[in-house]
Structure 1
Amino acid sequence: MLQPSAFLSLLFLLAAAARGGDYSRADFPADFVFGSGTSAYQYEGAAFEDGRTPSIWDTYAHSGHSGGATGDVACDGYHKYKEDIRLMLDMHLEAFRLSISWSRLIPNGRGPINPKGLEYYNNLIDELISHGIQPHVTLHHMDLPQALDDEYGGWLSRKIVKDFVVYADTCFREFGDRVLYWTTINEANIFSVGGYDEGASPPGHCSLPVQNNCSKGNSSIEPYIVGHNILLAHSAAVKLYKKKYKSTQNGFVGFNIYSFWFVPYTNSTEDVIATQRAKDFYIGWLVDPLIYGDYPRSVKKNVGKRLPAFTEYESKQIKGSIDFIGVNHYTTLYIKDNPSNLQIDNRDFDTDIAIEIKFKQGNELPDQYPIRPWGLYGLLEYLKQAYGDIPVYVHENGQLARRNGTLYDKSRVEYMHTYIGSMLDAIKNGSNTRGYFHWTFLDCFELLGGYGLSFGLYYVDLDDKYLTRYPKLSAHWYSNFLKGKSTSSNAITEVGDSTFVRQTG
C-alpha cells in the first residue's frame, strides 16, 4: 500500500499529467505499437455459417439482453475483413487486436477443427500481415462454446482447464508462426464478476439477494471459482507455450483485465485505505497471483473461505506465467469507505470490497465518459509500482457515445488526444507501456448497449445492406497522428463541422 507521502506525490504527478499539448508519433519509442481492435462476436457476424456453433454470448444475446440486439450479423467482418483491412492500411494502423471465436474454430469446444473456421482466421491473419499490420490475438473474449457450458458448467468446472489448453494449443500451432502477441482471456475480472455475480454479461448468472433476474447462479461464490479456474487455465496454456512453441515462435503470452482508476472521495485515512482495497480487488485479485503466486491479503481477508486456495504446485505454476499485462481502461471512479457492507451475511464481490462509489461534478456529458486522462496515468504508474517493469499494453481505451449518425465525434478526439498524451507522460516517467489500442475500429455490437452505443473510429450504416463504413473525425485525427503530424489542440477541429455530419436515412 502507498504511504501517505507517496500518495500525495502521486496526486501531484497525476495533476500534472492531464496532458493536452502537442506531441507526435515520433515522441513514442520506436518499438511502441498503435492500433485498434474488436472481438469476434462483436465484429464477425456469420453466426450460423460454415460450421460455427453458438457461444455463451450468442445464448445471452438471444435471451433478450443488450436491448434485444445480437451479433448474428454484427459488422459482417467474416465477409468484409479485406475491405476493413484496406481502411486500416489507409489509416496507417500499425496493429489490430482481434479475438478468435472458439466455437468457430472448434465447434464442439473440443474435437475436430472446423476447416472453414481455420481458413477464415488464416486468411484474416495473412491479410493483416501482408499489409504490414501486426495481429494481436485474444483466445477468449466472453464467448466460451455453449456446448462446454451445457456439458459441465464451463468456467465453473476445472474440466475447463484441459479443454482451454487444447484450444490454445490449436491456435498456437496453426497461427503462431505469424502471431507473436497472444492474450489468453479478455477482461478476466469483469467476465468473472459480470457473468457469474451480476448477471450483466455472458453467461448471465446471479442470485438473490444480489440480483433477482437470473435463472441460475450463486453470486457469493461463483465469481471467485471462475477467476480461480481462469488463472489455472491461463498458466497451463502459458506452460504449454513455453515448452512447445516459445523456442521456435518467439511469441509472448499475456493476460487482460478491465481496470478503472480509483481515487479517494476524501483525504480521510478510511477512504485512502478503501481506495487501495478497490485496487486489490479489481487489479490485484487476478494479477497478484500471476506476479507473486497468491491473492492479495485484503481479498483473502474479506472473502474468506469462499475464495479458493492454490496448492503449492498451482502457485508455482501461476507465478510468473505472464509476459505482459493488458489493461482496458476508460474512466476513473471516486471511492468512499463503506464498512457496513461487511456486515451483510450473503456477500458478493461488490460488497466484499466494502466501498461506495461516488460521483463528482466534472466535464461529464450525457452518455459519455468523463474525460479524466490523469486516470490512465495513475493506472500505469500504479502498475509500475506494484508489479515492476513488466510490459503493459493498453488494450482498450476510447470514448462512449450514443449512435446517432454523426461523424463529427469531437468528444472522442478530445478523449484520445488527452489520454494518449497522458500515456506518453507515464512512459516518460518510466512506465514500460508497449502499445495502445483504441476501442473500437468500427461501431459494432456492444455488450451493454447493442447497436445503440458507439465506440468506433468508423460509423457503420446498419440501414445499408452493404453495411458501408464511413470515417469519423476521430479516424482522421488518429490517421494524422499515425502519419506523424502534430496533435495540437487546434488540429482537433481543423476540419469543418459540416464535413462530418451525416444522419441516417
Structure 2
Amino acid sequence: MHIGWLGQLGTPWIQRRTVSIFSTKNGDIATNAYDLDQGDVNIIADLGLDVYRFSIAWSRILPIKSSQGTHTRTHAHKTYAHQSFSVKWINLELTTFHWDVPQALQSLYGGFLSPRVGGLIIETILFKNFGDRVKFWITLNEPLSLSESGHTLPYLAPGRCTIWGNVDRTGGDEGIEPYLVTHLQLLSHAAAVDLYRQKYQELQGGIIGITLNSQWFLPFRDGNEDDLKAAEIQLDFTFMRPVTFGDYPDTMKERVGERLPSFTPVEGRKLERSYDFLGLNYYTGSFTHFLDEGYVPPYPSYVTDSGVNFHSLNSRIFFFFLYIYDLDEGNPFGRSWTGKLCNYHIAGVFWLQVYPPGIGDLLNYTKVAYDNPTIYITENGNQPITHICSESINDTVRIDYTEDHLCCVLQAVDEYDVTISGYITWALTDNFEWAYGYTNRFGLYYVDYDSLTRIPKSFSRVVQRSDQQGS
C-alpha cells in the first residue's frame, strides 16, 4: 500500500485499530506515493522498466458522503495517471480492486458480504476515465486473501472471525462468510470482464484478467498418498476453476456442501474463460499434511474444510489456525535439495520459504489443468533479513532469489512450452505491507518512513543493468 492521507474517507486498513497490525502502525501516509508520484515515475524511468502495476483506491474514486461532504477525486486520479506516466513507453497495468473497500461501504454493507458492494460501477468509472492510457486490466488482486484471511483471521482487514483472537469484536462466521465473499468477488469479476469486453475492449484495445494467490504445495511425507492428495486439494481451492470453467471444483462442493453458494447457468457462462490473461503472484512453497479422518473441528471454518494442514517450508511449525503442531528438532522434512537449493531457506520473513522450482512446477500445472492460459507473473519477491538501512540496501539475497526464479520460469517456457508474457517484481519501493505494516521491506528502493526518502538497493542496479543490456 503506497497511499497518502484520506482523512475520514479511508479503508479498514487505515482506520481499524492498529493492534491488528504487527508494527502497531497504520497506513495513513505509507510512502505517500500519491503526492510523491513524479519522483517515483522518475525512478521507473531511470530503471528502464517498461511496465508499472498499480491499483486505485475506491475511496479516491467513489463519491461517498461523509462528514466532510461528497468526496470524489476521479479527475485528480486521471491527471495522476496521465501526467505522471506521460513517458509513453511505460505500460500501465491497473488493478481495479486490491482489498481496500472504503470504510463507508464496510460500515454500511459489510463490504463484500453484500452484493451491493460487489455490484458497484467502479469498473465503469475506471474503464471510461483510464482506458485510453491503460492497456492491461486486473479486476481483483489475490481475492483469496480477502475471502479467507479477512474473514477467518483477526489481523487482516476486516478481521472477521468466529471466536479466536477477535480483538476488535468484529463478529463473523468463518464457515459461511469466506464463501460468500468469494462468491461475490467472482460475480463482480465476471461482471467487470463482461462489461469491458462488451463496451470498451474493441475501442480501447486492452486486455483484462485476474491475479490470484499462488504457491506450490509438496506432500509433507514423501510417498504418502494422503499428503499427496492434500497437495492436490490445496491447488484445487478456490478461484482458478470458477474463472476458467464457470463453477467451483468438485472437492469444494463435496467438502463444503450447502454452505457453498452456487452459480446460476447465466453466472457460470459469464465466469467461464473470464480472463484474457492470468496473473499469478508467487513467493513461496508449502508442505501439506492431510488431517486425520477422525478429526472434527470445533466449528465449521474455511481453514478446516479442505482437510489440509500446511506450513512454510522453512518452519518446523504447522500454522493450522485452530491449533499448532510442533515438529521434532532437526530437519523433519527429509529433503536434500540439490546444488544451490540447499540455501533456499534464506528469507527475511517467516512465511516465505524460498523455493524457485515451485514456480516452474506451478506454471506447468496451470498449463495442463487450465488449458494453457497466457500467464503474467504479477508478483514475485523477497526481502532482506535485516531492516537496518545500510545493510538492507545490500540485498544480495533478493538478487539470488530473483535470478533463481527467473531461471525456473525460463526453464518452464523451454521444457513445458508455458505461455509467459511478463514478469513483475514486488515492489517498486518499500511500503505498508497490510497486516505486516512496515516490518516487511520488499521494495527495489528502501524508504525512510520519517523523511519518505527513496534509497536504491543493490537489486535496483541489477534491474537497471539488465534493462540496458536488453536481457
Cα distance in 2, alignment partners of residues 121 and 380 from structure 1: 35
Give 2:334's aligned residue. none
CA change 1:476–1:172 in 2 (3 A) is same
Q: Aligned AA for 1:91?
A: L
1:255-275 residue CA offsets vs partner (Å, 9 max, x unmatched): 111112111122221111111
Give 2:356's aligned residue. 373
Cα distance in 1, alignment partners of residues 195 and 149 from structure 2: 29
Cα distance in 1, alignment partners of residues 195 and 158 from structure 2: 28
**Aligned residues, how many?**
433
How far off is 1:372 after superposition? 1.3
- RMSD (Å) for aligned C-alpha atoms: 2.1
Q: Which runs of 4+ in 1 moved over 6 A?
A: none
Cα distance in 2, alignment partners of residues 341 and 138 from structure 1: 43
Out of 448, 468, 493, the position equivalent to 2:435 is 448
Report SS of the residue matched to 2:424: strand
> What are the residue-to-residue correspondences of 1:450-465 with 2, within 5 Å?
450-464=437-451
1:199-248 residue CA offsets vs partner (Å, 9 max, x unmatched): 3311111112x554351111111000000000111111111111111120
The answer to whether structure 1 residue 198 and structure 2 residue 153 are counterparts is yes
Tell me, yes or no, if the aligned pair for 1:341 and 1:352 is still in contact at 8 Å. Answer: no
Out of 281, 290, 305, the position equivalent to 2:243 is 290
Out of 227-236 and 112-121, give the one that drifted further: 112-121
Q: RCO (CA 8 Å, sep 6+): is it higher in 1 or 2?
A: 1
Tell me, yes or no, if the aligned pair for 2:354 and 2:401 is still in contact at 8 Å. Answer: yes
Q: Aligned AA for 1:481?
A: S
Report SS of the residue matched to 2:388: coil
The answer to whether structure 1 residue 436 and structure 2 residue 423 are counterparts is yes
Cα distance in 1, alignment partners of residues 294 and 60 from structure 2: 43
How far off is 1:439 after superposition? 0.5
The answer to whether structure 1 residue 404 and structure 2 residue 353 are counterparts is no
> What are the residue-to-residue correspondences of 1:42-121 with 2, within 5 Å?
42-48=1-7, 53-60=9-16, 62=18, 64-108=20-64, 116-121=73-78
Report SS of the residue matched to 1:257: strand
How far off is 1:157 after superposition? 1.2
Report SS of the residue matched to 1:200: coil
The answer to whether structure 1 residue 423 and structure 2 residue 382 are counterparts is no
Tell me, yes or no, if the aligned pair for 1:207 and 1:214 is still in contact at 8 Å. Answer: no
How far off is 1:462 after superposition? 2.0
Q: Aligned AA for 1:301?
A: E
Cα distance in 2, alignment partners of residues 331 and 387 from structure 1: 21
Q: Aligned AA for 1:86?
A: N
Q: Aligned AA for 1:450?
A: G
Tell me, yes or no, if the aligned pair for 1:91 and 1:479 is still in contact at 8 Å. Answer: yes
Give 1:495's aligned residue. none
Cα distance in 1, alignment partners of residues 359 and 78 from structure 2: 32
The answer to whether structure 1 residue 127 and structure 2 residue 84 are counterparts is yes
How far off is 1:197 after superposition? 1.4
> What are the residue-to-residue correspondences of 1:230-241 with 2, within 5 Å?
230-241=185-196
Structure 1: give runs of 5+ residues left out of the alignment.
Answer: 1-41, 487-505
The answer to whether structure 1 residue 213 and structure 2 residue 213 are counterparts is no
CA change 1:339–1:298 in 2 (3 A) is farther
Cα distance in 2, alignment partners of residues 292 and 253 from structure 1: 17
Give the share of equivalent positions with the same residue, in percent.
31
Out of 150-159 and 63-72, give the one that drifted further: 63-72
TM norm structure 1: 0.81
Tell me, yes or no, if the aligned pair for 1:71 and 1:445 is still in contact at 8 Å. Answer: yes
Tell me, yes or no, if the aligned pair for 2:95 and 2:139 is still in contact at 8 Å. Answer: yes
Which is helix-richer, 1 or 2?
A: 1
CA change 1:243–1:341 in 2 (3 A) is farther
Out of 135, 150, 155, the position equivalent to 2:112 is 155
Q: Aligned AA for 2:130?
A: F
How far off is 1:191 after superposition? 1.3
Give 1:15's aligned residue. none
Cα distance in 1, alignment partners of residues 250 and 183 from structure 2: 16
1:288-322 residue CA offsets vs partner (Å, 9 max, x unmatched): 11111111111111111111111112111211221
Give 1:6's aligned residue. none
